[in-house]
Structure 1
Amino acid sequence: MSSSEFIKGTLKTIILKLLAENKQMYGYEISQKVEELSASEIKLTYGALYPVLYKLENEGLLVAETEVVDGRARKYYSLTPQGVELAKVKVSELQKFTETLKNILLPAPNISLEIWGA
């Protein structure tokens, strides 16, 4: 999937949902989970993921804790109670929006796809 504008518009919701389901994750783990769940269609870059994580932290929606794993510091992110509530709202909104888009993008039953070259 090459359209970064779709990813940019949904990344906050994706992160909130993953953290709500997994309690705590570190950045690389989030990017790997997104890649896995999207069958490698979505690959998050450092430059896309971390600014959103920092913004969510500054907004009080998640907290970060640093742990040393195998001699290296790893920053784990988890949702605050406010973040959990926002995750529910954002996922619900995105699901509704996706359904609305489907209704718009699917051809009407009476319309021939010939106008689209199909």
Structure 2
Amino acid sequence: MSGSKYDETIQFRAGAEKEAAELLDQIHIGGVNVSELARTGLVEMLRRALDEQDEIWVYERYSRGDIDEDVARVLLGEKIDHMTAERGAFESAMERDTSTFLTETDGE
């Protein structure tokens, strides 16, 4: 995504959130890693922003190699493994020889 508005560090006006993080840092032995909290929160919010159609779109782009696996995992998490398994099962089912399956016949 070179050239996007996200090339620079993502920043926002924290206000009360910043004060809350500073307070938590003071009361937590060893402090807190605010950057890690921010990353975790951002990942959670990115995933919440996706609906089912968005998830399918991301997975399809990932499958074609248009999206790096790390980026796809940020957005889909473990769902990427489930979607890959479902895709494999579907493709396997499509390749099965259905001529050996039982069929209903009229009148019997």
TM over 0.5: no
Scaled by the length of structure 1, the TM-score of the pair is 0.29
Structure with the larger strand share: 1
Larger RCO (alpha carbons 8 Å, 6+ apart): 1
For the pair shown, which has the larger CA radius of gyration, 1 or 2?
Answer: 2
Scaled by the length of structure 2, the TM-score of the pair is 0.31
